Amino acid sequence: MAKSDETYRTLREDARALLDAAVHAVRADRAVERALTLEETTLVARGVKGERAVVELDRVDRVFVVGAGKAVAPMARVVERLLGERIAEGVVVAKEGFAKPLTRVAIREASHPTPDERGAAAAREVERITEAAGENDLLVVLLTGGASALLPAPSEGATLEQKRALTEALQKSGADIRELNAVRKSLSRLKGGGLATIAAPARVLSLVVSDVVGDPIDVIGSGLTAPETSNGKDALAVLKKYALLDKLPESLRATLEHTQESERADARVDNVIVANNRLALAAMAKEAERLGYETSIQNVPLEGEAKEAARAFIKEAARESKGTYCRIAGGETTVTIRGGGVGGRATEFCLGASATISALDGALLFCAGTDGDDGSSGAAGATTDALTLTRAAREGMDWRASLENNDSASFFRALGDLIVTGATGTNVADVAAFLQRDDAD
């Protein structure tokens, strides 16, 4: 017997409860509050992966604070409360609309995901403050997803307009975050460990909300404080993969061809992950179990083309489904832009799986960006269930045409199935869940 409308209402409510649990667990302000403690003059930072850093503030002359990302404002507010007048100066950069008032740290807004002149100006401020830090000073760096685009600092031979065009071309081609950042950091003064190099010999404490599965420090924020080197050859390989090498301006090509692995200054850096995708997934699993679902977390991250990743996820979940079941996964997929529609990774993920899930009675899929900001959708993500395509057909909507036009958000908006949260105060990539109920009708 087909499940009732009540079953699907319950599934949608449960999906939202799972997302709320995930976001609550990884909110940037709560993450910093958990990670950072001050006992008299001893500052201790503890990360979710066992990292521990200790700074004796009575041996520190000055404290500077810099940072960038969608959720950097709430992180900076916690640091301000903790360190107060010890902060000599600071500046952080947030996505336009994501800034919140601060007291001792200046906050700037810039464009994301496409860099703009405001970001370039803010990057120069960050660079100035970082350069001012001396051997007996502490530089606190706050990083969340979005930092790469918000801190554009073109290296010699590159312009902001060239980097902007290159970023847009890579995004439209479906490049993933690692590939995108390989190019960005090879054309930047700050990325690829550049910020840490400028800070040397000051002590650097970097608090990171990771938006990359696996938490590679050299990828998050393009590795501003990573003990890594930039490599132009890697960037050229990415551009070749997406057939962009021949379109590259000669000045950029020359810069990349002459950018070899270079030794970084001996910076004293502690990188501490304060929140990540796995923490969000664990919170979702706990909530799903509370709601009565038999629950599993997928070990393999969601990646690759969104619609293809979604179909694989649903098929695997359906194989394991029995009774009231929930399968949870996280990651960051990509979307190759072929049309002119409105959408993002999460909404395209859901639309791509709609035909597959239509055969599964009593089942629902949701996918959402933990930052509440999925591409151009104006939403965090969407839900799709076994009745979605039937409802769409009644409205005369062609899901295949919407998918081909990358118009997933418009499709789900018309059905009332977008998930809208607004800015969440965090960013740990995307989360998704397959939910199926065997409630008696």
DSSP 56: E
> How many C-beta atoms surround the C-beta of residue 166 within 10 A?
22
pLDDT attached to residue 248: 86
CA quadruple 317, 13, 393, 378: dihedral, nearest 10: -100
Between CA 94 and CA 73 the distance in angstroms is 7
Q: Among all chains, which residue has been given the structure tokens 């799986």?
A: 353
Write the burial class of residue 34 (CB in 10 Å: 0-12 exposed, 13-18 middle, 19+ buried). Answer: middle
Between CA 56 and CA 386 the distance in angstroms is 58
> How many C-beta atoms surround the C-beta of residue 178 within 10 A?
16
Is the CB of residue 192 less than 8 Å from the CB of residue 222? Answer: yes
Do the bridges between strand 294-297 and strand 268-275 make them parallel or antiparallel, or are there none, so unpaired? unpaired
What are the tens digits of pLDDT across the range 106-131?
A: 999 999 988 999 999 999 999 999 99
Here the tokens at position 189 are 């003064």
pLDDT attached to residue 1: 46
Domains and their CATH numbers in the chain: 5-24+278-436 (3.40.1480.10), 27-276 (3.40.50.10180)
Contacts of 234 (CB under 8 A, 6+ apart): 182, 186
SS3 assignment for 393-441: HHCCCCHHHHHHCCCHHHHHHHHCCEECCCCCCCCCCEEEEEEECCCCC
pLDDT attached to residue 229: 54
Query: Hey, CA dihedral for 374, 141, 180, 273, is it positive or negative?
Result: negative
Q: Which residue type, as a one-letter code, is found at position 419? A: I
Is the CB of residue 126 less than 8 Å from the CB of residue 66? Answer: yes
Write the burial class of residue 168 (CB in 10 Å: 0-12 exposed, 13-18 middle, 19+ buried). Answer: middle
pLDDT attached to residue 30: 97
Contacts of 440 (CB under 8 A, 6+ apart): none
pLDDT attached to residue 5: 86
Between CA 206 and CA 306 the distance in angstroms is 31
Is the CB of residue 66 less than 8 Å from the CB of residue 74? Answer: no
Between CA 209 and CA 228 the distance in angstroms is 19
DSSP 265: P
Is the CB of residue 259 less than 8 Å from the CB of residue 221? Answer: no
> How many C-beta atoms surround the C-beta of residue 98 within 10 A?
26
End-to-end CA distance of the chain: 8
The three-state secondary structure class of 375 is coil
* Per-residue pLDDT of the chain in tens (441 residues, 90 and over written 9): 467 889 999 999 999 999 999 999 999 999 999 999 999 999 999 999 999 999 999 999 999 999 999 999 999 999 999 999 999 999 999 999 899 899 999 999 999 988 999 999 999 999 999 999 999 999 999 999 899 999 999 988 889 998 888 888 998 898 988 888 888 888 889 998 999 999 999 999 999 999 998 999 988 988 999 875 556 788 889 999 999 988 888 888 888 887 655 545 456 999 999 999 999 999 999 999 999 999 999 999 999 999 999 999 999 999 988 889 999 999 999 999 999 999 999 999 999 999 999 999 999 999 999 999 999 999 999 999 999 999 999 999 999 999 999 999 999 999 999 999 999 999 999 999 999 998 754
Between CA 426 and CA 72 the distance in angstroms is 8
C-alpha distances out from residue 83 to 30, 89, 103, 365, Å: 16, 12, 12, 43
CA-only gyration radius of the chain, Å: 22
Here the tokens at position 409 are 């958000």
pLDDT attached to residue 441: 46
> How many C-beta atoms surround the C-beta of residue 184 within 10 A?
26
C-alpha distances out from residue 261 to 219, 267, 350, 385, Å: 16, 17, 41, 49
To which H or E segment does residue 90 belong?
strand 87-95
The three-state secondary structure class of 428 is coil
